Amino acid sequence: MGGSPTGGGTTIDYSIILAQARSNNIQSITFRGAEATGSFISPIRGANGQAITNFTVIVPTETAQEQLLIPLTENGASVRFNTNETSQLLVFLVNLLPVVLIIGFLVWTARRAQRQMGSAMGFGRTQAREYTVERPQVTFNDVAGQDAAKQELTEIVDFLREPEKYIALGARIPRGVLLIGPPGTGKTLLARAVAGEAQVSFFSIAASEFVEMFVGVGASRVRDLFKRARDNAPSIVFIDEIDAVGRQRGAGLGGGHDEREQTLNQMLAEMDGFDQTESVIVMAATNRHDVLDPALLRPGRFDRQVTVGLPDKKGRLEILKIHTRGKPLDVNVNLNDLAKGTIGFSGADLANLCNEAALNAARRNAKRISMRDFSNAFDRIVLGTESPPLSDAHERKVVAYHEAGHAVVAALLPNSDPVLKVTIVPRGQALGVTAYMPESDRRNYSRAYLYTKIMTLLGGRAAEEIIIKEVTTGAENDLRRATDLARRMVSNFGMSETFGLLNFGDDERQPFLGYSLSQGRSYSEETAAEVDAEVRRLIKQAHDQTIALLTENKDKLIALAEALLVQEVIEQDEMLRILGMHDDPRMERIASTHFSLGKGSPADDLPNGEIIQDPEPEATLKEADSSGD
């Protein structure tokens, strides 16, 4: 008849409650959804005989509830309905949640599509950074070591300041100025200096920023850039690394609809669209002018080309003065000696040298930057970070004789650059280093100098053959550089007795996939084989002479190697004492420079297809012969 007690009383079957209601035995009842609780007028007996006054009943359906309400109301029982608002609200929210999620997803999708549409519409806007006259200006006083380039650009500044003078005479200022030079020589700085001197707006952008994944974006950005420049005239547009979009059209396997070609075509059209009265100058920078499209270089576009090369000694001194401005220098710091010892450094290299010297002084908690800091900074930049010494005795011996071989050959040959330091302390990826300093800035190199360089490079391998009686992989980098130099002597520089003045160098000015498919080589396979044979002969001849030279001076080789095993680092003076060469006039000239290390010779990486003019800075930074590269 009943169930277990609950919070509202004993659970009673619906049929019993209905019978009690019809018998007028229910005093009150409260409905809560499908459940009802109440009390009897007279207690009833449960299944186990207990008296039940309060009860709980489950009303299964609405019909059952209506049937129960009829006798209750007729007999005057107290009937109440208590709706659970919290439960109903929860049910409502649960039912509403799917609708909210669907609406939210639709709103998010619409907004995302709108953002994508806005982003796509914004692809065509230029990403150029604008430097207005209100911002701190760079002037020619901030540019050192490039006097010739500054002189060339002075006319551009004068035109931007007083264009009427030129227009009245019917003169047309160059619409474009192309700055050509190795990285780090100050091409961007020169362009900003022109804008600063002329007090005009300056728009700067990298050529790679024109190109995106969508076709036509580059051309649209070019149009937007030149429109902004015209709206802010007089102004300067500077495009860095223009070879990214300005390379020769038609090269490679792609078709004529390449995105870069469309960008270049638009750039050519914009530069042609300048009026003579529009004071907009386009300046661009590149270190690969040989790959640029001829249409870009013709008069009327980039019709003025300014070479921004590596600074000479005077230029390096001026650059050092700028970058040491505001830095506390010790009394022993001689900027003139630093300029002498940094042959081949670009402006960026010198700035890095000064910064590394300051960091080195800070690491040792010094209040001033000393010459020692500059020397350590030079070693860190050129030779690499010092690593722990070699622990294997045999490996130390191999490296010592390898580096001693380089040093002895360089010291004995009259056309070699003087050796300034020999070390078997690993630096960077090299197990040992032999460092040189050229006697002066070089622009041209003789056959004797280059042949001596090959012998010096082979000195390490030759020493291993003579003393160790076996060869190691430590000469890999030396052999690669020697072979490359010998091939250029034969193919490019006309320094082979067999081929005379013929040039068989490949056209490296067009380094694009597919270009060679339509061009072909200018010499036969038989000639190519003869070139290889001549290179092999030149290397073998230099190797044999190096073996003979070191065998004849075996005592010097052993003495220097044994000293390296003990001292690990040997400077120039100590090396001369060991070799008994204090009277070498080349060493005396360099000894006047108190800077401990010098820049290497550019002969390591001669420029392609040229008679060794203005070597690239990467070459000059790699002169130190190393073992284990």
Q: What is the dihedral of CA 306, 308, 314, 320, to 10 degrees?
A: 140
Instruction: Write the DSSP symbol of residue 580.
Output: T
3-state class (DSSP) for residue 492: coil
Residue 505 makes CB contacts below 8 A (sequence gap 6+) with 488, 491, 492, 608, 609
* Strand, coil or helix: 320: helix
Name the catalytic one among 152, 261, 356, 403.
403
Contact 306, 146 (CB under 8 A): no
Whether 144 and 315 have beta carbons less than 8 Å apart is answered as yes
Beta bridge partners of 65: none
Q: Which two tokens stand for residue 152?
A: 């060339």
CB atoms within 10 A of CB 574: 15
Q: How far is CA 350 from the centre of its chain?
A: 19
The strand ranges marked E within 74-160 are: 78-81, 129-131
Residue ranges in 183-299 assigned as alpha helix (H)? 187-198, 217-231, 243-246, 259-272, 294-297
Where would I find the H helices in 341-433? 347-363, 371-378, 393-412
Tokens of 572: 């120039």
Sequence length of the chain is 629
Bridge-based pairing of strands 201-206 and 129-131 is: antiparallel
| Helix ranges restricted to H, 130-241 | 147-161, 163-168, 187-198, 217-231
The secondary structure element, H or E, covering residue 544 is helix 525-552
| Angle made by CA atoms 135, 140, 141, in degrees to the nearest 5 | 95
**Hey, what amino acid is at 166?**
Y
CB atoms within 10 A of CB 17: 24
Catalytic: 162?
no
For tokens 């039940």, the residue is 52
Token digits of residue 440:
């002066």
The tokens for 107 are 């709103």
Assign residue 223 a region: left if phi > 0, alpha if psi is -120 to 50, beta otherwise?
A: alpha
Give Cβ neighbours of residue 1 (< 8 Å, ≥ 6 apart).
Answer: 12, 13, 16, 46, 47
Q: Are 436 and 623 in contact (CB under 8 A)?
A: yes
Task: Give the DSSP H or E segment for 575.
Answer: helix 572-579
Q: Distance (Å, rounded) from C-alpha 142 to C-alpha 103?
A: 60
* Dihedral pair phi/psi, residue 481, rounded to 5°: -70, -40
Which amino acids are annotated catalytic?
Answer: 403
